[in-house]
Amino acid sequence: MTVPEETGADTPTPKKTWRPLTWWLGEDARGRSVWGRGRVLAALAVLTGGLLAFPGAVPNTPGRLGSLLESFLPWLGLVIVVLFGLAVLRRSATALIAVLLPVVAWASLFGGLVRSAQAGDADLVVVQHNVSDENEDPAGAARALVDAGADLIALQELLPSALPVYREELAARYPYHEVRGTVGLWSVHPLSGTRVVDIKPRDIEEYWSRGMRTVVHAPQGEFAAYVAHLPSVRLGGGGFASARRDESAERLARAIEAEEQARVVLLGDLNGTVEDRGLAPLTSRLNVPESGFAFSFPASFPVARIDQVMARSATVSRIHTLPAVGSDHLPVVAQLRWE
């Protein structure tokens, strides 16, 4: 007689093995594959890539939305990171492939700035800083700027009450300086031919002097240095108010275009990023920094570099910021090489 095998509780139950790749590639609760799900994420990725690749397609009217987007364009990199994470969690191959579009666009625009340029030999080192008309320690700010060891220091928002302090603190290192209105330049090299550059918007009727030009006589040859402080922009119910800034930038660009010196360096609080189309009259004529984001405003949590160093017949090879010195702007230090 044959005895049947027992199949009771003592029989071991096979363990289920979790395979991440199988789970990720498998269908979701609604039966969709890795190619069928995540289409909304893919569309958002394509839109982000389009904004990065073609920001000029966003019109500036109404509210100068195009300039607003361009002012914060690098921060779309955070949107890409979020989209990538959601694509992974959503288990969507379609969305992951779509995310490659904004990645490539962002890298082509800002990849060079991420590259860490080493501090090396430079033909010229400059400091650009809006010292703030509310700075409570101008002497301390001046000493901190001296420690940067630059050839030139350009300052904006110089009040008559604070100007003697800056002159005294900077005199030992910078024996040459010129001030026009609320902007000034201190130099280790002699200066000549200083004059006011009229960049005042037409609708401003009161006294307003925020531009100057001088010639710097450096060992490598003389060049024209421009110091400017363009009008502020405001974000409100009517959008991004930058009309005055844009007009002032155009006036400054015309002055630089007419400059007889082959070499030109522009230092200023331009109240705009180099991606902002409002500064296109300047960025189309001058070279902008090749390495470093150097976000300079606001000092408490910098989100944009509105303090700029640009040049003609020179490369701005490296730019970085210094610690806060009592202003709502961070000082910007740039290295330049003559072409």
| DSSP annotation string for 235-276 | EETTEEE-HHHHHHHHHHHHHHHT--SS-EEEEEE-SS-TTS
Output 178 or 16, whichever has higher pLDDT. Answer: 178
Does 228 score more than 60 pLDDT?
Answer: yes
What pLDDT, on the 0 to 100 scale, is given for residue 239? 86
CA neighbor of 177 nearest in space, from 219, 221, 214: 214
Three-class SS of residue 165? helix
Tokens at residue 12, please? 């071991």
Provide the percentage of residues in the chain whose pLDDT is more than 70: 88
Residue 141 in tokens: 């700010």
Q: Count Cβ atoms below 10 Å from residue 122 Cβ, excluding itself.
A: 18
In this prediction, residues 228-240 reach a mean pLDDT of 90
pLDDT in the model for residue 3: 56
Q: How confident is the model at residue 33 (pLDDT cuts 50, 70, 90)?
A: low
Residue 32's pLDDT band, with cuts at 50, 70 and 90, is low
CATH of 124-338 among 3.60.10.10, 2.60.40.1180, 2.60.420.10, 3.40.50.300: 3.60.10.10
Those residues whose C-beta lies under 8 Å from the C-beta of residue 313, and which sit 6 or more positions away, are 223, 262, 263, 264, 338, 339
User: Which of 148, 134, 266, 138 has the alpha carbon at shortest distance from 197?
Assistant: 266
The pair of structure tokens assigned to 68 is: 């607003």
pLDDT of 214 > 60? The answer is yes
Pick from 301, 314, 238, 299: which is nearest to 269 by CA?
299
Instruction: Indicate if the pLDDT at residue 14 is higher than 70.
Output: no
Tokens 């009450």, residue located:
161
Q: Is the pLDDT of residue 107 over 90?
A: yes
* Residue 47 backbone dihedrals phi, psi, to 5 degrees: -60, -45
pLDDT on residue 20: 62
Nearest-angstrom CA–CA distance, 80 and 184:
41
Give the tens place of pLDDT for each residue, 46-105: 999 999 999 999 999 888 999 999 999 999 999 999 999 999 988 898 999 999 999 999
How many helices (H) and strands (E) are present in the chain, helices listed first? 9, 13
pLDDT band at 10 (very low <50, low <70, confident <90, very high): low
Q: Is the pLDDT assigned to residue 247 strictly greater than 90?
A: yes
What per-residue string of b and e applies to 137-169 under the rule 16 or more CB within 10 Å gives b? Answer: ebeebbebbbeeebbbbbbbbbeeebeebbbeb
Predicted pLDDT of residue 120 = 64
- Average pLDDT over all residues of the chain: 91
pLDDT band at 116 (very low <50, low <70, confident <90, very high): low
Residues 297, 330 contacting (CB under 8 angstroms): yes
Strands, E assignment, 110-169: 124-130, 152-156
